[in-house]
A and B are shown apart, each in its own frame.
Chain A
């Protein structure tokens, strides 16, 4: 993993993917239905993260992920939301990194989504109260379904787009 020598191509690909994340985050706010009273959402921008996990270097993926969290947190969430996503994002990134070459891209995406939610809940536990842990099962189930959906889309993108 080399951090230096960003070639123009590498830089452009990263910038492109970050802006794609932003677009996806915005498109998501246009969908008026919230999927449940618990307020979880699809996380379309995670298509880009899963995609870049397979196509870019590890360092670049991390940068894209952090940029995505920062941008969508500032524009569409709030400071608390930002903190939750940061926690969840980093946890899901680590899990996806471990599972990357062991499992299929869809399963990796499912685990990414599950651990994103688990990370958020852990963060909420630390900030507020431990009682929030009761939301864990419903969040895991939600993560399986959204992760599966995201995984299918990322799979299509991954197999057709050449970086």
Chain B
């Protein structure tokens, strides 16, 4: 079988072009991708509110229970979410680290509040 014996300039250029194209596409997609991520707040198992994670400035959301009493205060800042204040005793959710990645969640058991990061698309469910 005849074949090329040397790894020539042509090969290097082709591989480099492919790599550069892929890298720029990756950067482009990453700049788009995060914008779609959302925060889903549920109270007592029911979706209370869905908000966009990405905000230009710090944003506070009051989470109320069925009687309209504020139970938790959620803060969105620098594309992450954390709970600033909770009405309950143990304050577990306040101590919880801020969340930003898909499927991370903060749960406040006494108030039955769950804050979860979701995404617009179903990509993350892909079975690789």
Contact = CB atoms under 8 A, between A and B. Distances in A.
Interface string B9-23: 011001100110111
A104 interface: yes
B33 A114 contact: no
Nearest to A102: B4
A163 to B, nearest CB: 10
Contacts, number: 70
A131 B25 CA distance: 15
Nearest to A55: B1
B14 A137 contact: no
B8 to A, nearest CB: 7
| Range class of the B interface residue count | 20 to 34
Interface string B80-115: 000000000000000000000000000000000000
B1 A132 contact: no
A104 B10 CA distance: 9
Nearest to B7: A104
Given A107-B7, A129-B121, A148-B15, A137 B128 contact: no
11 contacts: A39-B128, A80-B127, A101-B3, A104-B6, A105-B3, A129-B122, A129-B123, A132-B126, A134-B33, A137-B26, A144-B15
Interface of A: 38-40, 54-55, 80, 100-107, 110, 114, 124, 128-129, 131-132, 134-138, 140-141, 144, 148
Interface of B: 1-4, 6-8, 10-11, 14-15, 18-19, 21-23, 25-26, 29, 33, 121-123, 126-128
